[in-house]
Structure 1
Amino acid sequence: MTASPATSVPDTPPPDSVDAVQAMLSAHDYIADRALATCVFLALRLGRPLFLEGEAGVGKTEIAKVLARTLDRPLERLQCYEGLDLASAAYEWNYARQMIEIRLAEATGGTASAADRARLGRDIFSDAFLVRRPLLRAVEGIDGTLPVLLVDELDRADEPFEAFLLEVLSDFTLTIPELGVRGGGRPPVVVITSNRTREIHDALKRRCLYHWVDYPDAERERAILRARAPGVGDRLTAQVVAFVQSLRAADLFKLPGVAETLDWANALMQLDVVDLDPAVIDDTLGVLLKYQDDILRMRGSEAAQILAQVKTDLARGPAS
């Protein structure tokens, strides 16, 4: 059995430099540091999967979405969860339709010959009865185009699935016993994310280019807010970023990510806030923090002290 070609449609050429990657991502409101842009550039040039680890809400998933838009490819997303199996991730047979086909053959065929039965067996295990899931669509291509495959939160899946994914990533093929090998041409763009709730096996990481996506510094986070929440004023943007940066230095159960910073800034804008004060912080901490213990710890005097320090630092000059 030979591998089928994944696609015959030329891809949009990847950027020719790290600077071009940064510019490409920035044009779609993703502000990446140079280390991440370098990793993306190499993944595109070498045809290697990109493995991104980091805390929730730092922008790992968004990389795949932006790459799909910039490279003009469909996004194929596989959301991982405990119990994820082959049928949900790769393919399964449409058993209900197969049974209907068998019943129709029995009702209209009378006493079928051995050749008729063999033909029916081949027919019901053909592409017409195959339900394609994200991994199969990724290696085969979608409408003649190789997609961007996002394997999101791999750490939520069980280790047996991780072993199966390792086999797929080794040569970007899938073997369907009844049909043969699918894929095996040029690899799709693959982005794998993990929140590191458990360790991913080294064998899978070795097949990927690895990058830890950290919380941004204040300058980059302000740039992210200007790009993704342009309606927020400069003063409020500076206060929001400085306050969130201070929270990340605190001993909290779950530190706020960039996603929470954006949510909070947009929520404050909806409340017509132009200048932070302790009361509005207390009222909106549930947008920024997601655990009650963290909210109780920050609400009141603690948040007021942080805000006072933030305003003092900002009044002294440009935020660092």
Structure 2
Amino acid sequence: MAREKGTGEIVALKKIRMDNEKEGFPITAIREIKILKKLQHENVIKLKEIVTSPGPEVEDQGKPDGNKYKGNIYMVFEYMDHDLTGLADRPGLRFTIPQIKCYMKQLLTGLHYCHVNQVLHRDIKGSNLLIDNEGNLKLADFGLARSYSSDHNANLTNRVITLWYRPPELLLGATKYGPAVDMWSVGCIFAELLNGKPILPGKNEVRTLLHIFSPCLSHIIGMGNMRKIRYFVVLIVALPSSTKIVTYGPVDCKGGKSKSIPFFKISRSCKNIGNASVVLDNKNVKINANNPTFSSVPAKSSLRL
């Protein structure tokens, strides 16, 4: 956090790490700056400018070594008071349904703008959703974001998105994907806000896949045979990287329905949108801020803690 001398405005600073860069500017930082300059929306964090600070004096630090005498570079952002994870972790604080609707509508609006401009965020999680005291939510931290083409032919890394919010296709090694990976993360956030805690808290990739597949496979294999489910998931993960998995289509559960998240004491529209975003075949998911769930979204309320 810093204060702009001319206007007195409080801003947030993000230091660009140069420790491992012997020459030039980090390509990841260049990509992030380029994307942030491209995106101008009320629900996307605003990059105000790039500033530098002078490096240390030679006599203060001894012999020069690599980048030791290069100044620091900072990205200057508008200041936000909270992040969603920090608020959710406060003892005794539980979001109301109107608050959740308000935040989710803003999240979907900002993410829709990113996707329309062909940008994948690839790291949707609570700590990257910033909220001010007036209830405004903004998408932040585009360090893993990248532009994509509509044909999706390029190979992309699957080592993105924090584990608890990572979709099964990335956990299984997919390198061709699109906006659906962000939508899975949105569904996890929505369920987490309603449930009061993360719904897929796996310690590693296999454990996360177990959390995802177990509710469906338990109906197929049998409730008392969880060991077979574990072997099933481990077998999939252990497949050679060259193995082509044709589809990750919806797994039929009891009653012929796809996997459902157990939302309790919420409206039918909330339940429908939560279950629609966390599905095993989500490439055709169409959820946005115009969904009927958000037709009754209240006005933003101030948040003073």
Please tell me the TM-score bracket, short chain as reference: under 0.3
Return the structure number with greater helix share.
1
When the two structures are superposed, what TM-score results if normalisation uses the length of structure 2? 0.26
When the two structures are superposed, what TM-score results if normalisation uses the length of structure 1? 0.25
> Computing the radius of gyration over CA atoms, which structure comes out larger, 1 or 2?
1
